[in-house]
Amino acid sequence: MEYQILKHEINDGIAVVTINRPQALNALNTLFFHEMDHLTAELQASGKVRVMVLTGEGKAFVAGADIAEMVHKDSDEGSAFSRLGQNTFRNLERLSFPVIAAINGFALGGGLELAMACDFRIASAKAKFGQPEVNLGLIPGYAGTQRLSRLTGLGNALFLLLTAELIGAEDALRIGLVQKVTEPEQLMEETLRLAKLIASKGPKAVQKVKQVTRRGFAMDFDEGSELEADEFGSLFGPGAEGEEGMKAFLEKRQPNW
């Protein structure tokens, strides 16, 4: 497929995907969702990707859903556009490899919802965050009302959703919305350092950490712990990744994954 909005490159198991529509501050339109679904399915099927990094071209990560496209929609079309995005973001969460958001600038509305669907977030000190939907007489439609409170707690979520105030990277760090803040020029360097670090670990263990933590988050504690015990066991035994990792430690050598 020819991609018009997404650029990507893969080096040493790390896929860097860039949303490249800076003239509209990378606003999310229907084509974006189709491209994202197609590209992530392609990356998954390639078996070559250990970690994906998602970032934006220009001064925005993503400044929201495309208002120019949404303004013409009726109620059913609005709901369909919401479900389209919700589905794409769920697909991101279900990728076997971790996805890191490198937030270079504005992450607003649907843009913050996209960042929240990634596994964790690194922000440039210049980044700005907000859910400004109520300014437009709207509410979030890509599960922002659900993910924001789970990530930051109910008070922080309702503060952002109700006031539509934009917050800076340090405040985003304080409320747990992002995990690290870097100087703007160091954003990609630091994000790639973390991506390489993850890519150097046991590949199956990394996938299982993502899967068990994410699936367990939606379960009750005991059910999630059961899932963990099952998956823990799957890494043991002759030829299993855990055996190699533990042997390498005892033999004082690097593991051969």
Count the Cβ atoms, other than its own, within 10 Å of residue 15: 23
Q: 35, 57, 133, 241: which is the annotated catalytic residue? A: 133
| C-alpha dihedral sign at 244, 249, 251, 253 | positive
Please identify which residue in the block is written with the tokens 């405040």. 171
Do the beta carbons of residue 183 and residue 92 sit within 8 Å? Answer: no
Nearer to ligand CO8 among residue 65 and residue 198 (C-beta): 65
Residue from the set 142, 161, 172, 191 that interacts with ligand CO8 by CB under 6 A: 142
In whole angstroms, the minimum distance from the beta carbon of 151 to ligand CO8 comes to 17
Nearer to ligand CO8 among residue 99 and residue 108 (C-beta): 108
Site for ligand CO8 contains 132 (CB under 6 A): yes
| Alpha carbon distance 95, 88 (integer Å) | 11
Helix axes 75-94, 30-46, angle to 10 degrees: 20
Nearer to ligand CO8 among residue 138 and residue 151 (C-beta): 138
Q: Among residues 36, 97, 26, 34, which one has the least CA distance to residue 63?
A: 26
Site for ligand CO8 contains 68 (CB under 6 A): yes
Residue from the set 39, 108, 115, 167 that interacts with ligand CO8 by CB under 6 A: 108
Q: Among residues 197, 204, 26, which one has the least CA distance to residue 110?
A: 26
Residue from the set 89, 127, 140, 182 that interacts with ligand CO8 by CB under 6 A: 140
| Alpha carbon distance 196, 51 (integer Å) | 8
113 in catalytic set:
yes
Residue from the set 10, 31, 138, 227 that interacts with ligand CO8 by CB under 6 A: 138
Binding-site string for ligand CO8 from residue 12 to residue 51, where x marks contact by CB under 6 A and - marks none: ------------xx-x------------------------
Residue from the set 106, 169, 198, 231 that interacts with ligand CO8 by CB under 6 A: 106
Residue from the set 5, 63, 114, 167 that interacts with ligand CO8 by CB under 6 A: 63
Site for ligand CO8 contains 57 (CB under 6 A): no
Q: 113, 170, 183, 190: which is the annotated catalytic residue? A: 113
Residue from the set 35, 66, 119, 231 that interacts with ligand CO8 by CB under 6 A: 66
The residues that touch ligand CO8, with contacts defined as CB under 6 A, are 24-25, 27, 63-68, 70, 78, 81-82, 85, 106, 108-110, 132-133, 135-136, 138, 140-142
**Where in the sequence numbering do the catalytic residues fall?**
113, 133
